[in-house]
Chains A and B, each alone.
Chain A
Amino acid sequence: MGGKSKRTFKVSLITLLSLSFALAGCGGNNNSNTKDNAKAEETGAAQTAGAADTGDKIEPFNISVFLGQAGQQPTPDNKIYKKIKDETGASFNFEFLAGDINQKLGVMIAGQDYPDMMTGNTKLTAAGAYIPLEDLIEQYAPNLKAHYADYWNMMKDPNDGHIYILPNYGVYNGKVNSSWYSGPAFWIQKAVLKEFGYPQVKTLDEYFDLIEKYKEKYPKIDGSPTIGFEILNYDWKNWGLFNAPQHLIGHPNDGGVVVKDGVAEIFADKDYAKQYYQKLNEINQKGLIDKETFVQNYDQYMAKLSSGTVLGMFDQHWNFNAAEDSLTTQGKIERTYVGLPLVYDKATKDYYRDLAVLNLNNGFGISINAKDPVKIIKLLDTLIQEDWQKTFSWGIEGEDYIVENGRFMRTQEQRDNAADATWQLANKAKALFDFLPKTEGSFSDGNSTDAAAQPEEYKAGLKPFDKEVLDAYGFDTYVDFFSEPPANPVYYPAWSIDLIEGSDAKIANTKLTELQTKFLPKAILASPEEFDSVWTDYVGEIKKANVKAYEDKINEQIKWRIDNWSK
């Protein structure tokens, strides 16, 4: 190396280093720059938004959105998103959940890396990731204010009284047509009911009797062994195992507790829970429960349901809806399910179906990183208006639905389209609409907000076999199997209570879930003589967990809700 080349080497090294320092420095600077920019833009945006109000020009802007569930990106030329862009200037940048939600949120929170809009989640609320919305709504969003008027107090965060999330479901308007029950029930194949001449099934014993008789008569369905009863208990989808006892005593879904006269207590270790699991133990002895039920994952469960060999299970309808769709596609209508509101004895009135409640852990919040909250809230305010809501739920008039005498209808082709997932990606704004504030019930012209719930549509879409089943029972829809729900108690439902991240109550709840996951399968699979000893162990372990902290927190919140939500 000559002197010159040595120098060049040195110089280039120094340049390289200083460059890397400069770059590293830039990283930090950049951040504060964007923050300043954001502030500047915010004030600027307020002005432009003001200008937009006068309606002279549509400013294009982009909103990044995080959706807390898996999904597919809409096609770039999606009809509805294009319409939104044309008329409001807004375009969306969706990020769907891939993988585990807790992990994803942990990363987002650790990096304070939030998009403009995020779906509601208590973790994000606890991390201070949302901006309070009440003033924004008061000031810029009259339609949203009117939409949520009755629910205003409920939307406030119990911890600090701010509104962070705009719930997507639970705000009703006009007559509510419901043709689809999405909640929990004991489900049974329509074929089983048909086989035994459409009997009335009210109790748990009757239900398992039917399944037993059917399985005896048909040990194989389409060449595969018949499975009597499935219990899914996988990851967070654990209600299939945990939740049934509260319904069997005629109580609605309150999650892990039963609330009587405003006082909550866990039911996992109570006698009426024991009665249910003992019954499961008994039918397991008869070989009615799938051997693999506690080792399977959700995919395996869905595959079994989709094959049509499963006679019954306890589940929420929305959880296995896709399997029913698959059965319908295969033309096995008789293998789809009817939901039954079973109870222990006929004296108990079933309370499975409830009036929908405001879901506080869902919907959209605006993040602290949003460059332009005013613009976003104004957009949401626009989209809650009726013509937009119609566009979201029904589509474009003439293309996706037709109007006859003021009633919205669909042709068979439009109906088929609406059920086609690929078509939806190009012609529906499903991902966005799922989380948007929405009108439920009916529009001001009397049409149902949900195309599937429009009575004419529902009847027209019924398959002959479904007509037969419904006629046999004298019902209009499958929802009629359930009793009409009474008005919700003020606090209802207890499952939406935020236990506060990291609190003793939450730890106790995790412990309880862990114990249930571990002991209940053991108890069900045990030989009948061993059942009692497993149950005693289980109850003993629950006593050791700090269940009281959990119950106390729920009770405290129930009281808070009664005090603050009562009108």
Chain B
Amino acid sequence: MAETLETEIAVRHSNRRKKKKRPVTWSLIKSQNQLIWMSVPLMLYIILFAYVPVWGWTMAFQNYRPAKSFSEQEWVGFKQFKFLFTDDNFLRVLRNTLSMGIINLVLGFVTAIVLALLLNEIKNVLWKRTVQTISYLPHFLSWIIVTGIVATSLSINDGIVNIVLMKLHLIKEPILWLSEGKYFWGIVGASHVWKEVGWNTIIYLAAIASIDPALYEAAEIDGASRYRKMQFVTLPGIKATIVILMIMSIGHVLEAGFEVQYLLGNGLVVDWAETIDIFVLKYGLAQGNYSLATAGGIFKTVVSVTLLLMANGISKRLGEERLL
């Protein structure tokens, strides 16, 4: 009995493998025609909104003037890219973008995972929900409001940060936080965490919820403490989620943001605050030079895709989950 079952499974297994290799034939297509039909609208959607706009990239190689038609545009080759890459500020801007992107990435991950782990340990459901709600509400504020709050709390006249630090005797004089470049990245990172931590936690909590409770019970029987359970059950349980999200976010590292830096930046910290997006706004959109703005966009896309593929490749090598 057991033998037959085993062979049956083996046969099925090989069948499945065979199926995978089965060539695509008309009869196969016909037999799956519902599936194919169902995918058509989605394909159309993607072609229309993801591939057709790529046509606009031609702008980057022109001296684009809005009122003229495509054939009347002046083609300038790589002039816009040359301007972008040879500008004195570009390296600095790139450095800022990358640094803030990485800071946001790391801080965002660490805080979200830690908060998820901590929330998971709370047994009082009402309290847990309250904490969760409070922590994700700032996500719904726009950056303009958040930066307003940040600027006010960092002010030297009755800004809460300075007051607290003074009361704790950590500093003697109020610090003018927004005037020093060395603090700027940290402020941006902290604002991101404050705004997004609760929101980012949600997906980890969902992943934690899907862990088989039997594992916890087993661990408990083996005498694992809370921390051990976190370490050997919860964390491995959400590893797949973490890796996938990490790969996706690495693709967005160059999207360090625009609003925060634009709204909090000032002359004194400009060397640390200017990101690619601000640079492109200043020398592209604000000048009516849409071509340069497009060139900036292409640069970012290319870098992002490269980073994404790299992260994916590394993950594959390490035998971890991957996206593609």
Contacts and interface: CB of A to CB of B under 8 A. Distances in A.
A233 B267 contact: yes
Interface stretch (A74-82, A408-416, A471-479, A516-524): A516-524
A297 B270 contact: no
A333 B36 CA distance: 76
Interface string B33-44: 110011011001
Contacts of A510: 282-283, 286-287
A112 B34 CA distance: 40
Contact of A521 (B37, B156, B267, B286): B267
Interface string A247-286: 0000000000000000000000000000000000000000
A298 B54 CA distance: 39
Nearest to B64: A502
A535 to B, nearest CB: 15
Nearest to A506: B287
A522 B287 contact: no
Interface stretch (A121-129, A392-400, A442-450, A454-462): A121-129
B14 interface: no
A209 interface: no
Interface in A513-553: 514, 517-522, 525, 544
Contact of A518 (B41, B151, B156, B267): B267
Contact of B44 (A9, A20, A127, A296): A20
A292 interface: yes
A507 B283 contact: yes
B268 A295 contact: yes
Interface residues of B, number: 37
Nearest to B180: A295
Given A20-B44, A128-B66, A514 B287 contact: no
Contact of B285 (A102, A129, A544): A102
B286 A297 contact: no
A193 to B, nearest CB: 26
Contact of A295 (B266, B282, B287, B290): B266
Interface stretch (A103-111, A144-152, A359-367, A486-494): A103-111
Nearest to A103: B285
B155 A517 contact: no
A294 interface: yes
B96 to A, nearest CB: 14
Interface string A312-327: 0000000000000000
B288 A292 contact: no
Given A291-B156, A297-B151, A10 B287 contact: no
B155 A300 contact: yes
A291 to B, nearest CB: 6
Contact of B157 (A10, A123, A225): A225
Nearest to A24: B48
B281 interface: yes
B266 A502 contact: no
A292 B155 CA distance: 8
A502 B289 contact: yes
B157 A292 contact: yes
Interface residues of A, number: 45
B323 interface: no
B176 interface: yes
A420 interface: no
B166 to A, nearest CB: 15
A159 interface: no
Contacts of A296: 151
A299 interface: yes
B217 to A, nearest CB: 43
Nearest to B144: A99
B271 A518 contact: yes
A234 B286 CA distance: 16
Contact of A294 (B38, B263, B268): B268
B179 interface: yes
Contact of A520 (B63, B263, B267): B267
B267 A502 contact: no
Most chain B beta-carbon contacts within 10 A, residue among A295, A300, A525? A295
Contacts of B40: 17
B178 interface: yes
B67 interface: yes
Nearest to B44: A20
B77 interface: no
Nearest to A111: B66
Contacts of A110: 66, 290
Given A123-B288, A292-B176, A517-B267, A300 B151 contact: yes
Given A127-B66, A521-B267, A501 B288 contact: yes
Interface string A1-13: 0000010011001
B186 interface: no
A459 to B, nearest CB: 39
B288 A127 contact: yes
Given A110-B66, A295-B179, A9 B34 contact: yes
A17 B41 CA distance: 7
B148 interface: yes
Contact of B286 (A102, A129, A224, A225): A102
Interface string A85-125: 00000000000000000110010011010000000000100
B44 A518 contact: no
A299 B148 contact: yes
Interface in B1-47: 33-34, 37-38, 40-41, 44
A110 B34 CA distance: 39
B180 to A, nearest CB: 10
B41 A20 contact: yes
A159 to B, nearest CB: 12
Contacts of B268: 294-295, 518, 521-522, 525
Interface string B80-106: 000000001000000000000000000
A514 B270 contact: yes
A102 B283 CA distance: 12
B29 to A, nearest CB: 14
A13 B37 CA distance: 7
Contacts of A102: 281, 285-286
A297 B48 CA distance: 41
Contacts of B281: 102-103
Interface string B259-270: 000010011101
Nearest to A122: B288
A126 B288 contact: yes
Contacts of B266: 233-234, 294-295, 517, 521
A537 to B, nearest CB: 13
Contacts of A295: 151, 176, 178-179, 266, 268
A520 B155 CA distance: 21
A198 to B, nearest CB: 31
23 contacts: A9-B34, A10-B33, A13-B34, A17-B40, A106-B290, A110-B66, A110-B290, A128-B67, A291-B156, A291-B176, A292-B156, A292-B176, A296-B151, A299-B148, A501-B287, A501-B288, A506-B287, A510-B287, A514-B270, A517-B270, A518-B268, A521-B268, A544-B88
Given A292-B157, A295-B268, A517-B270, 16 more contacts: A17-B37, A24-B48, A102-B281, A128-B67, A234-B266, A292-B176, A294-B267, A295-B179, A297-B148, A299-B148, A501-B288, A502-B288, A502-B289, A517-B267, A518-B271, A544-B88
Q: Which 9 pairs show the lowest CB-CB distances between chains A and B?
A: A501-B288, A128-B67, A517-B267, A295-B178, A502-B289, A127-B66, A521-B267, A109-B66, A13-B37
